């Protein structure tokens, strides 16, 4: 899968222990809007998705995470690679090294019940179909509390690439 860009905070010691966990994210576009998770508590937008469980392939992770976070059921035959982003930053005593794999996909009509983690429930995760430019503006101009600015900027850059490549009118 093509590398879209690298985000390296360079805020860690070269000999710091590394924690690696790949993540998979869904890129779902309908009628000029994109399906994003809106954190009501910290007012940022991100793609639905998350970390792969041990032994999970990307398709399984994508379908599970999208269903859990936004209640959409991904059509497996619609999944196609978009790109990946490598992210490195200090997290506590370790360096988080995360390959974020983005997949274009479609969802079935309707929704199922979400299955939030505690932090997702606390943040008020909500599915919103939004104009990507609005999501970028929100991510770059609002205060997001303790949330990682690298994660939020990663999502904004991916949205910009989607716009540049003509995925929106």
- pLDDT tens, 65-77? 999 999 999 999 9
Q: What are the φ and ψ backbone dihedral angles of 71, each rounded to 5 degrees?
A: 70, 20
| pLDDT mean across residues, the chain | 95
Query: How many angstroms separate the CA atoms of 1 and 84, rounded?
Result: 7
CB-CB contact of 36 with 46 (8 Å): yes
Number of H helices and number of E strands within the chain? 4, 10
On the question of pLDDT at 155 being above 80, the answer is: yes
- pLDDT tens, 87-121? 999 988 899 999 999 999 999 999 999 999 999 99
pTM: 0.94
Nearest-10 Cα torsion for 124, 129, 130, 136: 60
Pairing of strands 33-39, 44-46: antiparallel
Collect contacts of 160-166 with beta carbons under 8 A, ≥24 apart. 160/136, 161/4, 161/83, 162/27, 162/29, 162/34, 162/82, 162/132, 163/132, 163/133
Between 74 and 54, the higher pLDDT residue: 74
Q: All domains of the chain, ordered by start, with CATH? A: 3-164 (3.90.79.10)
- Which secondary-structure segment (H or E) carries 153? helix 149-164
What angle do helix axes 149-164 and 132-141 make, rounded to 10 degrees?
150
């Amino acid at each position: 899968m093509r590398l879209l860009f690298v985000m390296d905070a360079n805020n860690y010691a070269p000999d710091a222990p590394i924690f690696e966990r790949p993540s998979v994210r869904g890129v779902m576009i309908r009628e000029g809007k994109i399906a994003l998770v809106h954190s009501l508590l910290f007012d940022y937008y991100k793609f639905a998705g998350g970390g792969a469980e041990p032994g999970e392939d990307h398709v399984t992770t994508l379908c599970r995470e999208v269903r859990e976070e936004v209640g959409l059921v991904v059509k497996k035959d619609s999944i196609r690679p978009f790109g990946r982003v490598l992210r490195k930053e200090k997290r506590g005593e370790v360096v988080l090294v995360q390959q974020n794999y983005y997949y274009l996909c479609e969802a079935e009509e309707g929704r199922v019940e979400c299955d939030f983690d505690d932090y997702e429930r606390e943040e008020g995760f909500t599915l919103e179909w939004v104009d990507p430019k609005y999501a970028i503006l929100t991510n770059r101009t609002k205060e997001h509390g303790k949330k990682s600015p690298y994660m939020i900027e990663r999502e904004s850059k991916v949205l910009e690439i989607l716009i540049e490549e003509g995925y929106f009118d």
